[in-house]
Amino acid sequence: MFNLMKTAILMAAITALFMAIGAMLGGQSGMLIALVVALGMNFFSYWFSDKLVLKMYNAQEVDAQSAPQFYNMVKELAQRAQLPMPKVYLIQEDAPNAFATGRNPDHAAVAATTGILRVLSERELRGVMAHELAHVKHRDILISTISATMAGAISMLANFAMFFSPRDSEGRPANPIVGILVAILAPIAASLIQMAISRAREFEADRGGAEISGDPQSLASALDKIHRYAQGIPLETAERHPETAQMMIMNPLSGGGLRGLFSTHPSTEERIARLMAMVRR
């Protein structure tokens, strides 16, 4: 119920941002058009955003014949978590990472890069995939997928607002400062909405993944290894679509500055410390 409420709040916040930008573009009529667009985007995000994200990453579905070891690992963990078997995907990328998507446990998918399969041991990979199934079990994969889709849409709409805001009789922007501010602040606002729910969600998925796998130390070891490898191997699709970064088990974006300030992931050190505390208990 709580995650359903968070999803509703997220959709409402995104819709409000759309309407605010629409009002800047075209007053009351622009606000109404933006409302219709936002409602359409929310509908699309609910039903199709998982497929869109998987297509962005060119993820290829695998089964017990094409990737038996990986597929059977996910199957065993799903049974331990008392979850329906999700669809399983591989992404041909060297950067080690993984994510879960889908609107609910009955329509879920987990995806991992080929890089993570090469970098991690079998026990560490079990910890990672258990983390992703914990996202499925907690029913927060819908939130992350919707926020990724809508944050990207807001960024595009904000840029549209800067170039197509109302103009005076001489063709100049009626209020260029407002247009620039919207183009800068709207994506930041979208990022803040993502951050508000994402960091706590990662801690919970770490805890849930450790419980599903029964091996918090291996998940801690996996996070440490992914963190070290990911710093030197960029995930190109995430760089092109930074709004999807918060879906990953580890932030795949390179560089610091504002990206570090607005990171949707808690620090790796703190995540590892919490998992090792579970080991000691």
233 — phi, psi (to 5°)? Answer: -125, 100
Distance CA 114, CA 27 (A): 49
- The yes-or-no verdict on residue 84 having pLDDT over 90 is yes
Proportion of the chain above pLDDT 90, given as a percent: 44
The per-residue pLDDT for 211 is: 97
Query: Please, which residues bridge with residue 112 across strands?
Result: 90, 98
> Does the pLDDT value for residue 267 go beyond 70?
yes
Read off the amino acid at residue 71.
Y
The mean pLDDT value for 223-229 works out to 94
pLDDT for 257 = 47
H-helix or E-strand spanning residue 60: strand 60-62
Average pLDDT over the chain, rounded to an integer: 81
Average pLDDT over residues 232-245: 84
Place of tokens 């060297």: 94
What is the identity of the amino acid at 33?
I
Locate all alpha helices (DSSP H) within the chain, ordered by sequence: 2-56, 68-80, 114-119, 122-137, 141-164, 176-213, 216-230, 236-240, 258-261, 268-280
Long-range contacts of the stretch 210-213 (C-beta < 8 A, 24+): 210/127, 210/130, 210/275, 210/278, 211/134, 212/77, 212/80, 212/81, 212/130, 212/133, 212/134, 212/137, 213/77, 213/80, 213/126, 213/127, 213/130
Other C-beta atoms closer than 10 Å to the C-beta of 104 total 11
Residues 169 and 162: their CA atoms lie apart, in Å, by 18
Dist CA 100 CA 52 (whole Å): 13
Cβ-based neighbour number of residue 172 at 10 Å: 8
Between 76-80, 164-168, 262-266, the lowest mean confidence (pLDDT) is in 164-168
CA distances from 35 to 12, 38, 43, 57 (A): 11, 5, 12, 29
Q: What is the mean predicted confidence (pLDDT) over 264-280?
A: 92
pLDDT tens sequence across 40-81: 766 776 787 789 899 999 999 999 999 999 999 999 999 999
Q: Has residue 97 got a pLDDT over 90?
A: yes
Known catalytic residues are 132
Q: pLDDT tens digit string along 98-136?
A: 999 998 899 999 999 999 999 999 999 999 999 999 999
What is the reported pLDDT for 177? 61
In this structure, of 66-75, 146-155, 158-167, the range with the lowest mean pLDDT score is 158-167
% pLDDT > 70, the chain: 67
Instruction: Select the highest-mean-pLDDT range: 149-153, 184-188, 206-210, 240-244.
Output: 206-210
